[in-house]
């Protein structure tokens, strides 16, 4: 996919750009899902505030099994939490630090 998008320019710089943008997109979509969940929470029930227990894989499996829907509060909330967790996990990784370093170096040139 990246080869088709970047063409002959698929290199470590473009991979770093894609990896970094993935985290930004996850955070943006997480905010949108959490806002949507808040708007659809007609009961006023406050969900468990622990963000660190939900993963994209778990949410995906629940959606695939028909146990969770993104059309309701719980699904929207869990998906938003999972997106935040995925972004944070990647932003704590050595790959993220390497990507930021590479992007900063290229920008300075």
List, for residues 50-96, the tens digit of each pLDDT value. Answer: 667 889 999 999 999 999 999 999 899 999 999 999 999 999 999 99
* Predicted structure pTM score: 0.85
Gap between the Cα atoms of 105 and 53, Å rounded: 35
Whole domain around residue 38: which residue ranges?
Answer: 2-108
4-63 pLDDT tens trace: 877 777 889 999 999 999 999 999 999 999 999 999 888 777 776 666 788 999 999 999
Q: Whole-angstrom distance between the N-terminal and C-terminal Cα of the chain? A: 28
How many domains does the chain fold into?
1
Report CA 83 to chain centroid distance, whole Å.
4
> Are 99 and 67 spatial neighbours (Cβ–Cβ below 8 Å)?
no
């Amino acid at each position: 996919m990246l080869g088709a998008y970047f063409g002959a320019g698929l290199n470590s710089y473009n991979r770093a750009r894609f990896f970094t943008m993935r985290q930004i997109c996850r955070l943006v979509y997480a905010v949108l899902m959490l806002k949507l969940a808040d708007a659809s929470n007609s009961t006023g029930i406050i969900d468990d505030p622990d963000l660190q227990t939900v993963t994209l894989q778990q949410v995906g499996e629940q959606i695939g099994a028909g146990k969770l829907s993104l059309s309701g509060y719980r699904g929207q909330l869990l998906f938003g939490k999972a997106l935040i967790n995925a972004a944070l996990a990647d932003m704590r990784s050595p790959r993220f630090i390497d990507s930021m370093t590479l992007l900063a170096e290229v920008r300075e040139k």
